[in-house]
Amino acid sequence: MNNFSKARDRLKMCIENVKRGTARYCEGDYSDSVFRIQLAVEDACKAILSFLGVEFRKTHFPSVIIAKIISNKERMKKLSLNTEHVRYLTLIISYASLLETQGSMPRYGWETEERIISPSEVYTMEVARELFNSAIESINYVIRFFKSFQELPSDLSTIVEELNKVIDNAVKELKKD
């Protein structure tokens, strides 16, 4: 499996989770919606890492790895990333990190000394909408990042276009509320 096929597969998983997250949001299951879009953003960031040929261990914080890459001038030169790419990556990080910091809260809630605050108490429609908007922004910049490369393999390019349509659909669904 090469870098492009790994990137393609990560973007496919991103698409699946955006669809699931959108469906859960529309059903009113806001905590699961946040969990799904959190996974989608993580997979989108991991797709970039795979595309660039960056090896990484299992992580829920791929934006941290991207940040380390763009802060290392030698590595940037080796990867042939230009200022447009850096701008996209910086914007991706800024939106993705908000979702990554949610950690396990969308699944398990928030434990205090007195009680456990359930995910449904934390993730109201308003909170989920804000996080969903951050996910959409992050993924839109992921799409732009991939489109900025002239010679994408056709299967990867096709998945990027499909992701764009799925994000457009998610935006329409969110506007209904």
pLDDT at 55 over 50: yes
Contacts of 81 (CB under 8 A, 6+ apart): 52, 70, 89
Task: Please give the share of the chain, as a percent, with pLDDT higher than 70.
Answer: 98
Q: Whole-angstrom Cα distance, residue 166 to residue 134?
A: 15
Output phi, psi for 111, to 5 deg.
-95, 125
pLDDT at 169 over 50: yes
Look up the CATH number of the domain holding residue 66.
1.20.120.330
pLDDT at 1 over 80: no
Q: Quick check: 77 and 71 in contact, CB under 8 A?
A: no
- pLDDT digit string, tens, across residues 96-143: 998 898 888 888 888 889 999 898 888 999 999 999 999 999 999 999
| Cα angle value 36/29/16 (rounded, 5°) | 30
Mean pLDDT of the chain: 91
Q: Whole-angstrom Cα distance, residue 39 to residue 138?
A: 12
* pLDDT score for 112: 87
Number of domains observed in the structure of the chain:
1
Domain enclosing residue 95, as ranges: 3-176
